[in-house]
Chains A and B, each alone.
Chain A
Amino acid sequence: MLQPFIQHPLSRTVFLFGIILLVFSFFAALLAPLLFTIIISFVLYALLDPVSRILERRGMSSTASSLTVLFILIAISASVISLLMPYLSAQVSQLQEQLPSVWQTLLSFVQETIQHTASSMKLDLETSNNITQPFFDEANKIGKTALLAGSNLLIDLSVLVILVPIFTFFLVRDYRHFRNYLLDSLPNNSFELGWIIYHRVTNQLQEYVRGIMIQSGIMSLITSIGFFAIGLDSYILLGIIAGLLNLIPYVGPLLAMVLPTLLALAQAPFDPWLIGAAIGVIIVAQIIDNVIVIPSVIANAVNMHPIIVIIGIIVFGNLFGFIGMIIAIPAISTANLIFRGLHQGFQTRAVLTDS
């Protein structure tokens, strides 16, 4: 009785897709603490693999070519870091010094507004304080946690600096062998389909990653110039943060407005124009992004309904934090491609069996 249901292409696709999803979820949960390191390593692998392959074609073994590209990576990174680090660390220190006062300014601003509202509504000041105090206590805790997270970030960065080259080396050296081993392990009747789906997924991911890297770079540049022009402190760091936040569709641009606005609020002397200008820079950058950058750089790399995008960002953000928000779109589009590929394959077989 269940036979037609089991044989139906859609049920077979859902079943197999479910298994793939379970395996991926298991590994994602297992590797969650290393997710950022793994993603960075994969991006570097995509950049360095062509160089490694050129060396291999010239007669080098895969280990020698991987070591060579690793040294190239370390040399370039060391040069860039030694050039930029003094400047960036100065800006980070400046930002760290400013953050507590930004937080206090924000809290006092909110407190004053509440008190003003309470007095204009003729509410008892003690009662309103009793209502708002738990909020401020909680907000202070969040602020302290955020500052602590900031300092933990430096520790995470050191782990990243050590692990990323190691991961990248082994990816450059062994990824292709491992991938071929897995795909070649598929049964004869699924082998070509497996490769077709794999290439569809990697092509789309490559296009997407390339697109968002360019987009993020352009956004960092535009916002840095904008913040510099309006006279905001730590303009390069803020620009880089805005560029990174721009990787998160819909939500990112809103988040990108928060830090510059807070810094503008705290920057002495208090200047309402600076706050408006900081928000204005992000809005202008967003307009440029939506009108020029996205259509020419990202185009149709990922074509998904906005509701799916927003739900995906919330779910992945909840599961994996900030990195989850960035990987939400490529992860959903990959799942979509795998599902459609499997369905196409099973459907073809069903037609052939029927005929």
Chain B
Amino acid sequence: MMSNSNHPFWRNLFRKNSDQTHEITEMWMQTPLFENIPYRRCRELVGNMHPREYRADETIFNAGDIGASVVLIRHGEVEIRTGDQILAELVSGDFFGEIALIIDEPRTAKAVATKNSELIFFLRSDLEEWIQRSPKDGAQFMLNISRILAARLKQTNQLISSQES
């Protein structure tokens, strides 16, 4: 967690500590997921996100695993694979696994860290809670994610068409 844990009891009661959340918020704001969403709303969410570290060649998730989050690469590199085929090579600032934010279904591809990486997990449960709390921004977020998924679908359709012809 990136929020203010481990602080002494009698710290300044009315000042919230400032930490790495700003940098991560800025990274999320650069992604199409947070387009047209105010900075402070994104920062609220970042406070509840989960940073994790992966070694080079460590599997982040397998196709078929139960997924519950979208993942942002803070440092490092990640490959998305199906079987032996590499679907995408992602670097710092990229995100993946966004389908798990929408549906409670197994992951559709495998993700592997190709370098030592620090990843930020944004859980579906936190998104659901946020949507209830801020429905307007939640609706914008869902619109953004729909655009991303629609673009992916369009790409896939074009790929299939080109292979058929």
* A contact set with B: CB distance below 8 Å: 56-57, 59-64, 67, 176-177, 180-181, 184, 188-189, 191-193, 195-196, 199, 344-345, 348-349, 351-352
A348 B106 Cβ-Cβ under 8 A: yes
How distant is the Cα of A349 from the Cα of B16 in the complex, in angstroms?
41
Binds A, one of B22-30, B59-67, B88-96: B59-67
A192 B68 Cβ-Cβ under 8 A: yes
For B33-67 the 0/1 string (1 means CB < 8 A from A) is 00000000000100000101010001111111111
Q: Which residues of B contact A349 (CB under 8 A)?
A: 62, 65
A191 B52 Cβ-Cβ under 8 A: yes
Q: Give B124 Cβ to nearest chain A Cβ, in Å.
A: 8
A-B interface pairs (CB < 8 A), number: 78
Instruction: Choose one: A63, A192, A193, A345; the contact of B11 (CB below 8 Å).
Output: A63
Q: Does B4 contact A (CB under 8 A)?
A: yes
Q: Does B15 contact A (CB under 8 A)?
A: yes
B64 A195 Cβ-Cβ under 8 A: no
A348 B66 Cβ-Cβ under 8 A: yes
Instruction: Please report whether the interface of chain B is mostly helix, strand, loop or mixed according to DSSP.
Output: loop
A60 B16 Cβ-Cβ under 8 A: yes
Q: Does B163 contact A (CB under 8 A)?
A: no
Given A184-B50, A188-B54, the answer on whether A61 and B4 have CB atoms closer than 8 Å is: yes
A188 B52 Cβ-Cβ under 8 A: yes
Instruction: Choose one: B11, B12, B121; the contact of A191 (CB below 8 Å).
Output: B121
How distant is the Cα of A64 from the Cα of B12 in the complex, in angstroms?
9
Q: Which residues of A contact B5 (CB under 8 A)?
A: 177, 180-181
Chain A residue at smallest Cβ distance from B58: A188
| 17 cross-chain CB contacts under 8 A | A56-B16, A59-B14, A61-B4, A61-B7, A61-B11, A63-B9, A177-B1, A184-B1, A188-B60, A191-B50, A191-B121, A192-B65, A196-B66, A199-B68, A348-B66, A352-B62, A352-B63
How distant is the Cα of A189 from the Cα of B63 in the complex, in angstroms?
13
How distant is the Cα of A349 from the Cα of B66 in the complex, in angstroms?
10
A57 B44 Cβ-Cβ under 8 A: yes
Q: Which residues of B contact A180 (CB under 8 A)?
A: 1, 5, 50
A195 B68 Cβ-Cβ under 8 A: yes
How distant is the Cα of A344 from the Cα of B54 in the complex, in angstroms?
24
Q: Give A197 Cβ to nearest chain B Cβ, in Å.
A: 10
In order of increasing CB-CB distance, the 10 nearest A-B pairs are A64-B13, A199-B125, A180-B1, A177-B5, A192-B68, A196-B68, A352-B62, A352-B64, A61-B13, A348-B64
Q: Does B21 contact A (CB under 8 A)?
A: no
How distant is the Cα of A62 from the Cα of B15 in the complex, in angstroms?
10
Chain B residue at smallest Cβ distance from A178: B5
How distant is the Cα of A55 from the Cα of B143 in the complex, in angstroms?
28
Q: Does B120 contact A (CB under 8 A)?
A: no
Q: Does B145 contact A (CB under 8 A)?
A: no
Instruction: Choose one: B17, B61, B62, B123; the contact of A195 (CB below 8 Å).
Output: B123
Given A59-B16, A184-B1, the answer on whether A348 and B65 have CB atoms closer than 8 Å is: yes
How distant is the Cα of A59 from the Cα of B61 in the complex, in angstroms?
36
How distant is the Cα of A157 from the Cα of B54 in the complex, in angstroms?
50
Known A349-B62, A352-B63; 7 more pairs at CB < 8 Å: A60-B13, A61-B14, A61-B15, A63-B7, A188-B60, A348-B65, A352-B64
Chain B residue at smallest Cβ distance from A353: B62
Given A348-B65, A352-B62, the answer on whether A192 and B14 have CB atoms closer than 8 Å is: no
Q: Give A101 Cβ to nearest chain B Cβ, in Å.
A: 53
How distant is the Cα of A193 from the Cα of B100 in the complex, in angstroms?
13
How distant is the Cα of A60 from the Cα of B61 in the complex, in angstroms?
37
B67 A192 Cβ-Cβ under 8 A: yes
Chain A residue at smallest Cβ distance from B6: A177
Chain A residue at smallest Cβ distance from B10: A63
Chain B residue at smallest Cβ distance from A189: B59
Q: Give B81 Cβ to nearest chain A Cβ, in Å.
A: 13
Q: Which residues of B contact A62 (CB under 8 A)?
A: 3-4
Q: Give A50 Cβ to nearest chain B Cβ, in Å.
A: 8
Q: Give A3 Cβ to nearest chain B Cβ, in Å.
A: 21
How distant is the Cα of A315 from the Cα of B128 in the complex, in angstroms?
37
How distant is the Cα of A344 from the Cα of B7 in the complex, in angstroms?
38
